[in-house]
Amino acid sequence: MRRGWTAALAISLAGVLTATACGGSGGEDAEGSVEVFSWWTGGGEAAGLDALIERFEADNAGIAFNNAAVAGGSGTNAQGVLESRLQANEPPDSFQGHAGAELMDYIEAGYLEPLTEFYAEQGLNEVFPPELLEQITLDGEIYSVPVNIHRSNVLWYNPGVLEEAGVEPPTTLAEFEDALATVEEETDAIPLSLGAQWTADHLLESILLASLGTEGYNALWQPGADWSTPEVTEALETFDRIYAYTNTDAGAADWQEASQAVVDGDAAFNIMGDWALSLFQEVGAVEGEDYGYVPTPGTDGTYLWLSDSFTLPVNAPNPEGAQAWLELVSSQEGQDIFNPLKGSIPARTDADASLYEGYLADALTDWQESTMAPSYQHGAAANNRQKSGINDAVGVYIRDGDVAALQEALVTAAGEAG
Ligand code: GAL
C-alpha cells in the first residue's frame, strides 16, 4: 500500500533542503544511486536526456544514475508501468509527468512531495512563467519542475513532394484537404503519415483546435463541457476526411517511422509534436530540403502546448539524489543543455536564445506571441481518466470508422472526467 507523507521523510527532506540553503549542492552531498523514470529512449527521444545524464554524472561523482526509461512514444507503455509502481509504493526517485491535468492526478493520489521550499531556495519562482506554475500548483504548493515546452500543432512537410504535387504548405483546413487530395493524385507519397494509435489522437487534437478555434477548443476542457454540439460533429467529420489520407499500416510503427517518412520523401505531411525535430537533427535532415514546417492548418497564432516536468515522489528511495537531479533540470544550464537536443524550448524564461536556431528560434518567438491551448494527448488538458476514454473512443473509430459513435464516446469520456 502507498504510504502518505511520513514523518521520517519529512525530516530527511528538511535536512536536504537545509543543506542546500547553506550553499551545499544536493549533488556533492548525496550518494547511492538515483533512478529517473521517463519514456525517452531511442531515436529523437534520448539525445536530450543523455546529455543531461552526462552532465549529472560529471557534477555528482558519488551518485550512480539509473536511467529507468520505458520505450513507447507519448508514454503509452511507461505510464502504465509507472502507475503500478506508484500503487505498489515502489516509486523511482523522480519521474516525468506532464504539467497540467496529468500532474494533478498524481498530486491528488498523494504520490508527490511538494517542492515549494525547493523553489524558494533555488530562486525558481521568478524564472518560470506564472501561468505554467499554475499548472503544477495545488493549494499553494508547487509539485514539479518543468524542463521544457513542446508544441503539438506542427505540420511537417517534405518540400520536394509538395513541389512534385504542385502544392504550397497549407494554412487553412480547406487548403489542407485540397493539398492531401492533390498529393494522392499526383505522387506516390503517403499524403499524411501516421504511426501508433496515439498519433491518431495527436492528430485529432490538432484538428479539433483548427476546426473549433482556440476558444472553442479550450472550452472542451472546462467542467461540464458539451461535446455533443454540431461544431464538434463538424470537427470530427473533418478529422474523418483527413484520416482517410493516412497510411493503412500506421499502427505497426511508433511516431519515429511516421516522421521519418517525411524526410525520406515517402510522405508529404506529418502532424507531430516538435520532438520530431530531434529525430530530424539526429538523422542529419536539412531544413528547407528534407523538411519544412508550418502550424497545423487553421491553428496559426495558437501554441498547442505541453510541458515535461520532473517530480519528487513520496517515499523516493534517495530524495537527496532526486534533489540533485531536480537542481540540474531546473537550472538555466540544464535546460539549455537539454532543449536544443530535445526539439523543445526551455520552460525557464531566461534561456540563452542564441542556442535555439531554425525551427526552435521560431518556436521561442511563437511561444511569446501566441494564444495558449493545452494538449490533451500529452497531459495538459485532460486527466488520465478522460484521456483514456478519448483514446479508447479513437481506437474504436480506427476499427469501425463510425463518426457518430466517436462523438458519443467522447461525450461519455467528458462526462466521466469528474
Ligand atoms: C510526449 C512527451 C514528449 C515526447 C513525446 C513522444 O508525451 O511530452 O517529450 O517524448 O511524448 O514520445
The domain that contains 398 carries what CATH number?
A: 3.40.190.10
In a domain, 370, yes or no: no
pLDDT over 60 (residue 11): no
213 and 89 in one domain?
Answer: no
Expressed in angstroms and rounded, the spacing between residue 62 Cα and the centre of ligand 1 is 30
At 10, is the pLDDT very low, low, confident or very high (cuts 50, 70, 90)? very low
- Ligand 1: atom nearest CA of 342 is 9
- Ligand 1: atom nearest CA of 72 is 12
What's the whole-number average pLDDT of the chain? 93
In a domain, 203, yes or no: yes
404 and 296 in one domain?
Answer: yes
- The predicted structure's pLDDT at residue 250: 83
At 30, is the pLDDT very low, low, confident or very high (cuts 50, 70, 90)? low
In a domain, 177, yes or no: yes
Among candidate residues 148, 217, 227, 222, the one with its CA nearest the CA of residue 373: 217
228 and 188 in one domain?
Answer: yes
114-121: average pLDDT: 98
d(CA 363, CA 211): 22
In a domain, 388, yes or no: yes
395 and 265 in one domain?
Answer: yes
Expressed in angstroms and rounded, the spacing between residue 352 Cα and the centre of ligand 1 is 23
Expressed in angstroms and rounded, the spacing between residue 23 Cα and the centre of ligand 1 is 34
Q: What share of the chain is helix, strand, coil (3-state, %, to 5)?
A: 50, 15, 35
Kind of pairing, strands 32-37 and 154-157? Answer: unpaired
CB 381 within 8 A of CB 374: yes
Residues with CB under 6 A from ligand 1: 39-40, 45, 73-75, 150, 255, 273, 275, 306, 308, 378
**Residue with the nearest Cα to atom 9 of ligand 1?**
308
Our mutation pick for probing the ligand 1 site, out of 148, 202, 308, counting the most ligand atoms within 8 A of Cβ, is 308
- Ligand 1: atom nearest CA of 377 is 7
d(CA 270, CA 154): 8
362-373: average pLDDT: 97
**Residue with the nearest Cα to atom 1 of ligand 1?**
74
pLDDT over 80 (residue 13): no
CB 146 within 8 A of CB 128: yes
Residue 180 lies in domain: 151-305+375-417
324-333: average pLDDT: 98
**Residue with the nearest Cα to atom 5 of ligand 1?**
74
17-43: average pLDDT: 67
397 and 263 in one domain?
Answer: yes
Our mutation pick for probing the ligand 1 site, out of 256, 341, 378, counting the most ligand atoms within 8 A of Cβ, is 378
In a domain, 200, yes or no: yes
In a domain, 130, yes or no: yes
CB 277 within 8 A of CB 43: no
In a domain, 5, yes or no: no
In a domain, 8, yes or no: no
CB 206 within 8 A of CB 152: yes
390 and 252 in one domain?
Answer: yes
Q: pTM for the full model? A: 0.93
Residue pLDDT, tens place only, 279-298: 999 999 999 999 999 999 99
d(CA 27, CA 228): 52
348 and 251 in one domain?
Answer: no
75-96: average pLDDT: 97
201 and 60 in one domain?
Answer: no
Expressed in angstroms and rounded, the spacing between residue 75 Cα and the centre of ligand 1 is 7
- The predicted structure's pLDDT at residue 19: 37
311-317: average pLDDT: 98
225 and 207 in one domain?
Answer: yes
List the end-to-end C-alpha distance of the chain, in Å, as a whole number.
24
**Residue with the nearest Cα to atom 8 of ligand 1?**
308
Characterize 319-348 residue by residue with b for buried, 16 or more Cβ atoms within 10 angstroms of its Cβ, and e for exposed. bbbbbbbbbbbbbeebbbbbbbbbbbbbbb
Our mutation pick for probing the ligand 1 site, out of 257, 275, 307, 329, counting the most ligand atoms within 8 A of Cβ, is 275
Expressed in angstroms and rounded, the spacing between residue 48 Cα and the centre of ligand 1 is 12
Kind of pairing, strands 32-37 and 371-374? Answer: unpaired
Count of domains observed in the chain: 2
Which residues does 398 contact at the CB level (< 8 Å), separation at least 6?
Answer: 197, 200, 251
